[in-house]
């Protein structure tokens, strides 16, 4: 089959489907199906299939994808927040790049929280028949993925020739959290012959519950300190005058996370006659994720003393910190993400050379995000001994009374909310002409596609505010301790007494990393009932008369680009047309048979928005009161510019046209041996956060307050709705030997020439207001620079059927990927943060790109047993150029994880099994710093999960 991404699933053609696909089978059938897709496709593709109902080889889509050559996962909820690892694999990288297009059944799919991409961890694996990863493109495929395209395939009723009822149930248990969760899915499908033609209906429902506990110990970045005679270590590991590197802070945390993911897939098909087929598909998925975090941090580590020790690189490895300050906080995250995808397609194939197809699709996605944190601090401070030179930190405390609630005070609170939505209407129409048998050209297809996408992002900044006291000062008010009901003279609220709890870090790192195990924290009930509820209690601690007040969901009251949130509204329209020809000839290329496709896709993209421009605020006077007379001409012009009216609401539009040619060639060298060559042009559009239409202008003065700054008088910062897409020319070649239905050896090499990277740059822009014109030096996201990505993938799989007896059930599956890159740029995630902008410009590798990665799996299938033991490994890589709070590069260390499963067929229709994730309890270690000095930054332990599974299909 062609397995083209723009077409509807090949499974919609009953003549092209395997009627056994929905029968309970096993690993061999999964590998056979995936291998057939790869072998028969006219583009370079790798697949993972779920021949059994709900039987992707892993618990989530993203975890299953990592088994494919060239695919790696990011295991953090957000790259800039590396202290919080994800319970399930998050972002998907193909061949080291994050520019991955996501699809369902060859159509658009996206998440309002992820912009253009889909949060694959939010998709229920039980709904899928398989996942295809296209690593090169053809002209009839939708544009938008330089790294690749991930297509999620759901089922349709004409997949099966008989009625089907199937279910999947499992109970998964985490050994660190010591909690279990039930999940299940159900599918029913049938088809009927009527006087109006053949009808088919399918319903697939999945409810997936999962939970996880994560323990972590983190330090800050390591700052340089020059030792003197008074603080040089007594152990001789460093001397006075040496520069040593010490982290500023240290802390530890426990995060309990759980998610309920509910998804429904409905499909209806109608074939009124042999020539015409209509298919309706509906997919809706909602993921409700909740996490509660308790974190304890210390201060003042950066001040060295004689007890400190250092390694050979002069990096801190341990010492005593006298009277370490304790900061505790309880943080809740409560997110709800919904995506709905509706599509109606038709296929008309009369008894003529012409055939036609098309579809109409509507996608709607929303994301509601709530974060609330309350902080307390400890007055009676214990001494802390820190040892971080081993595999895991060891922390012990002495002195102080951390279990005394009366020693803690209410310190601060912080909230953050988002309400995002995006929708898209897309339509396409295709026509194909099939040439006579024996012609060089097999067929030629033409098609058009149009979309309109509306994106609305409503969010606030992170709203930190004082409660009663901080170490650096209390703002003039009384300290409110945890055993108080309010400040003197203020309202007394007895609920304050019930708003804190003594939390013990029981079984922290399974006892392998002891930490001071007791402290008083705000309760979960204080932070998880909304900001209004928290404020009603915490306002009784605002003794200074100012401090934290909760955010409002009146997002229009916030100014986009001001650091406190706002509303981004963007509209994007695209029109595309393509021509695509399939060709082939027998014994015509040096005596070899070949086939392939050639074509070109032309796309016009137009974006539109309304500008939000913040003018300079000038508070001084010229001359200042009491100062002698001065030349105020420049100052008065600046005031005129700043007060000359609003520049908001100006329409901003940008359009660009891309021409994307492609060629895919396959040569049959011998029986089962084939070679491929592909070259294509691809593009990926800018992310939505990069297109934000805000501009902040500043006029800068010298110390006198009225003389323009001599170096940079006019500066500004903003998003850039005028960005162009990143473009790449992709070259791929492969040699593939298929020696058995489930046996193959493949080698693929690739080269990408990438241009127009998006990064933070400066350019001069002219603005006029109040009749005054200035040239501002603007910092924005810009296009520029170029780079290359090269590498190869080697894969092998085989069942050893030739072995005698029970040994014939063994099989092996493995792959290895090597990637190298040069040039290119990383990009700042927050253009308003100058530290991020500076860090992203440093000469560092591309974020998310591991040089090597591999998978190795031992398989067994015989006597009703299906077993799999799979190990996935990836080399160290740059996670982010500038992590949140520490403002320094963070690296993910080498990481490998062993997973396994064993299933037994009780009958031909029923299976029972057990699956285990992270069997070896692999711990994640993150590092911080530059390429030459990367000491450890974060140590993470998480659940090993075990699931008991029951599957049946009738």
pLDDT for 274-288, tens place per residue?
999 999 999 999 989
Using CA atoms, how far apart are residues 48 and 91, in angstroms rounded to an integer? 18
Q: What digits encode the pLDDT tens for the residues 82-101?
A: 766 665 666 789 999 989 99
Element of type H or E holding 652: strand 651-670
Q: What is the pLDDT of residue 21?
A: 38
Average pLDDT score over residue span 607-618: 91
Residue 25 binned pLDDT confidence (cut-offs 50, 70, 90): low
Q: What is the pLDDT of residue 731?
A: 97
Vertex 184: Cα angle to 178 and 189 (nearest 5): 170
Residue 626 binned pLDDT confidence (cut-offs 50, 70, 90): confident
Question: In whole numbers, what is the pLDDT of the chain averaged over residues?
Answer: 89
Percentage of the chain surpassing pLDDT 70? Answer: 94
Residue 402, burial from CB neighbour count under 10 angstroms (0-12, 13-18, 19+)? buried
Give yes or no for residue 60 having a pLDDT over 80.
Answer: no
Q: What is the pLDDT of residue 452?
A: 96
Average pLDDT score over residue span 334-354: 94
Among candidate residues 851, 850, 846, 724, the one with its CA nearest the CA of residue 787: 846
Residue 15 binned pLDDT confidence (cut-offs 50, 70, 90): very low
Element of type H or E holding 534: helix 531-538
Q: What are the C-alpha distances in Å from 591 to residues 588, 635, 668, 791?
A: 5, 81, 10, 30
- Residue 754: which residues within 8 A CB-CB, separation 6 or more? 146, 726, 727, 728, 786, 787, 788, 789, 823, 824
Q: What digits encode the pLDDT tens for the residues 456-485?
A: 999 898 899 999 988 877 777 889 999 999
Q: What digits encode the pLDDT tens for the residues 471-521?
A: 877 777 889 999 999 999 889 999 999 999 999 988 999 988 878 778 899
Q: What is the pLDDT of residue 300?
A: 73
Q: Any idea of the CA torsion for 171, 175, 177, 178, to the nearest 10 degrees?
A: 70
Reading the block at residue 88, the tokens are 């399930």
Reading the block at residue 400, the tokens are 């102080």
Give yes or no for residue 16 having a pLDDT over 50.
Answer: no
Using CA atoms, how far apart are residues 448 and 682, in angstroms rounded to an integer? 18
Q: What digits encode the pLDDT tens for the residues 296-331?
A: 988 778 889 999 999 999 999 999 988 778 899 999
Q: What digits encode the pLDDT tens for the residues 872-915?
A: 999 999 988 888 778 889 999 999 999 999 999 999 899 999 99
Q: What is the pLDDT of residue 875?
A: 95
Q: What is the pLDDT of residue 78?
A: 65
Q: What is the pTM of this model?
A: 0.90
Q: What digits encode the pLDDT tens for the residues 102-149?
A: 899 999 888 877 667 777 666 777 888 889 999 998 999 999 989 999
Q: What is the pLDDT of residue 515?
A: 80
- Residue 473: which residues within 8 A CB-CB, separation 6 or more? none
Residue 5 binned pLDDT confidence (cut-offs 50, 70, 90): very low
Q: What digits encode the pLDDT tens for the residues 689-698?
A: 899 999 999 9
Q: What is the pLDDT of residue 479?
A: 92
Q: What digits encode the pLDDT tens for the residues 148-169?
A: 999 999 999 999 889 999 999 9
Using CA atoms, how far apart are residues 18 and 727, in angstroms rounded to an integer? 38
DSSP state for residue 53 in the 8-state scheme:
T
Q: What is the pLDDT of residue 2?
A: 34
How far separated are the first and last CA of the chain, in Å rounded? 28
Q: What are the C-alpha distances in Å from 81 to residues 76, 92, 672, 884?
A: 7, 17, 47, 6
Using CA atoms, how far apart are residues 367 and 161, in angstroms rounded to an integer? 39
Q: What is the pLDDT of residue 14?
A: 37
Q: What is the pLDDT of residue 88?
A: 62
Residue 20 binned pLDDT confidence (cut-offs 50, 70, 90): very low
Q: What is the pLDDT of residue 703?
A: 87
Among candidate residues 153, 162, 165, 158, the one with its CA nearest the CA of residue 9: 153
CATH architecture of 10-350+416-461+551-953: Beta Barrel (2.40)
| 316-321: strand order across its sheet | 309-310, 316-321, 383-387, 394-398
In the chain, where are the structural domains located? 10-350+416-461+551-953
Reading the block at residue 920, the tokens are 């070896």
Give yes or no for residue 22 having a pLDDT over 50.
Answer: no
Q: What digits encode the pLDDT tens for the residues 841-867?
A: 788 899 999 999 999 999 999 999 999
DSSP state for residue 636 in the 8-state scheme:
H
> Does residue 365 contact residue 110 with C-beta atoms inside 8 Å?
yes
Using CA atoms, how far apart are residues 304 and 228, in angstroms rounded to an integer? 10
């Amino acid at each position: 089959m062609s397995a083209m991404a723009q077409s509807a699933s090949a499974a919609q053609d009953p003549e092209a489907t395997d009627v056994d696909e929905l029968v309970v089978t096993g690993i061999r059938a999964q590998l056979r199906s995936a291998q057939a897709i790869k072998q028969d496709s006219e583009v370079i593709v790798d697949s993972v299939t779920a021949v059994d109902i709900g039987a992707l080889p892993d618990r989530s889509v993203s975890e299953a994808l990592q088994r494919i050559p060239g695919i790696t996962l990011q295991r953090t909820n957000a790259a800039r927040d590396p202290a919080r690892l994800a319970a399930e694999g998050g972002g998907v990288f193909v061949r080291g790049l994050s520019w991955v297009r996501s699809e369902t059944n060859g159509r658009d799919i996206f998440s309002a929280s992820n912009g253009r991409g889909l949060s694959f961890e939010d998709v229920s694996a039980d709904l899928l028949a398989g996942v295809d990863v296209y690593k090169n493109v053809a002209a009839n495929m939708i544009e938008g993925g330089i790294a690749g395209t991930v297509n999620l395939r759901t089922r349709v009723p004409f997949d099966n020739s008989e009625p089907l009822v199937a279910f999947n149930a499992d109970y998964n248990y985490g050994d660190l959290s010591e909690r279990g969760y039930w999940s299940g899915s159900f599918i029913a499908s049938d088809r009927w012959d009527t006087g109006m033609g053949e009808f088919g209906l399918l319903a697939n429902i999945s409810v997936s519950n999962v939970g996880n506990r994560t323990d972590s110990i983190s330090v800050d970045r390591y700052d340089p300190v020059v030792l003197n005679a008074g603080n040089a270590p007594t152990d001789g590991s460093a001397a006075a005058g040496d520069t040593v590197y010490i982290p500023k802070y240290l802390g530890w945390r426990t995060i309990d996370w759980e998610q309920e993911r509910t998804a429904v897939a409905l499909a209806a098909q109608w074939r009124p006659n042999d020539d015409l087929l209509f298919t309706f598909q509906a997919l809706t998925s909602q993921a409700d994720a909740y996490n509660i975090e308790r974190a304890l941090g210390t201060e003042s580590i950066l001040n060295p003393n004689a007890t400190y020790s250092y390694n050979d690189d002069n990096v801190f490895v341990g010492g005593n910190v006298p009277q370490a300050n304790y900061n505790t906080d309880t943080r809740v995250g409560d997110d709800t993400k919904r995506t709905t995808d509706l599509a109606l397609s038709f296929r008309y194939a009369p008894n003529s050379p012409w055939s036609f197809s098309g579809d109409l699709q509507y996608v709607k996605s929303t994301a509601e995000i709530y974060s609330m944190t309350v902080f307390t601090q400890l007055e009676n401070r214990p001494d802390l001994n820190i040892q971080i030179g081993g595999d895991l930190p060891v922390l012990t405390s002495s002195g102080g009374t951390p279990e005394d609630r009366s020693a803690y005070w209410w310190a601060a609170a912080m909230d953050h909310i988002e309400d995002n939505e995006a929708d898209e209407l897309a339509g396409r129409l295709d026509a194909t002409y099939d040439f006579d048998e024996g012609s060089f050209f097999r067929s030629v297809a033409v098609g058009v596609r149009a979309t309109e996408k509306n994106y609305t992002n409503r969010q606030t900044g992170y709203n930190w505010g004082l409660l009663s006291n901080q170490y650096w000062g209390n703002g003039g008010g009384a300290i409110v301790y945890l055993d108080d009901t309010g400040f003197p003279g203020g309202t007394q609220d007895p609920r304050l007494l019930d708003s804190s709890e003594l939390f013990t870090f029981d079984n922290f790192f399974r006892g392998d990393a002891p930490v001071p195990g007791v402290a008083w924290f705000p309760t979960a009930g204080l932070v998880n009932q909304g900001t209004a509820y928290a404020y009603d209690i915490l306002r009784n601690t605002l003794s200074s008369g100012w401090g934290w007040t909760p955010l409002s969901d009146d997002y229009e009251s916030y100014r986009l680009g001001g650091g406190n949130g706002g509303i981004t509204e963007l509209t994007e329209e695209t029109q595309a047309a393509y021509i695509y020809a399939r060709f082939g000839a027998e014994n015509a290329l040096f005596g070899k048979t070949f086939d392939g496709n050639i074509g070109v896709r032309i796309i016009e993209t137009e974006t539109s928005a309304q500008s939000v421009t913040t003018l300079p605020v000038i508070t001084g006077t010229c001359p200042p009161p009491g100062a002698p007379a001065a030349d105020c001409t420049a100052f008065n012009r600046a005031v005129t510019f700043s007060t000359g009216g609003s520049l908001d609401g100006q329409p901003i539009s940008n359009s660009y046209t891309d021409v994307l040619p492609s060629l895919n060639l396959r040569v049959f060298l011998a029986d089962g041996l084939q070679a491929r060559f592909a070259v294509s042009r691809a593009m990926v559009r800018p992310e939505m956060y990069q297109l934000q239409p805000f501009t902040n202008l500043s006029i800068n003065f010298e110390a006198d307050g009225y003389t323009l700054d001599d170096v940079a008088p006019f500066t500004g910062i903003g998003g850039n709705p005028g960005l162009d897409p990143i473009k790449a020319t992709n070259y791929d070649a492969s040699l593939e030997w298929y020696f058995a239905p489930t046996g193959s050896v493949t080698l693929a090499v690739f080269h990408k020439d990438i241009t127009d990277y998006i990064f933070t740059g400066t350019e001069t822009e002219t603005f006029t207001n109040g009749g005054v014109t200035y040239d501002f030096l603007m910092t924005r996201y810009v296009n520029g620079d170029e780079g290359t990505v090269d590498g190869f993938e080697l894969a092998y799989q085989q069942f050893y059927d030739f072995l005698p007896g029970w040994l014939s059930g063994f099989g092996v599956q493995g792959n290895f990927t090597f990637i190298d890159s040069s040039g290119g740029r990383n990009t700042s995630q927050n253009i308003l943060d100058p530290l991020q902008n500076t860090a992203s410009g440093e000469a560092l590798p591309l974020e998310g790109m591991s040089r090597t990665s591999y998978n190795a799996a031992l398989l067994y299938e015989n006597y009703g047993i299906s077993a799999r033991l799979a190990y996935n490994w990836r080399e160290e890589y740059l996670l982010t150029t500038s992590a949140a709070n520490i403002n320094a590069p963070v690296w993910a260390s080498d990481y490998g994880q062993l997973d396994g499963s064993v299933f037994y067929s009780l009958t031909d229709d029923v299976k029972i099994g057990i699956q285990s994730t992270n069997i070896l309890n692999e711990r994640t270690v993150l590092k911080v710093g530059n390429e030459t000095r990367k000491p450890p930054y974060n140590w993470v332990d998480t659940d090993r999960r075990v699931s008991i599974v029951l599957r049946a299909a009738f």
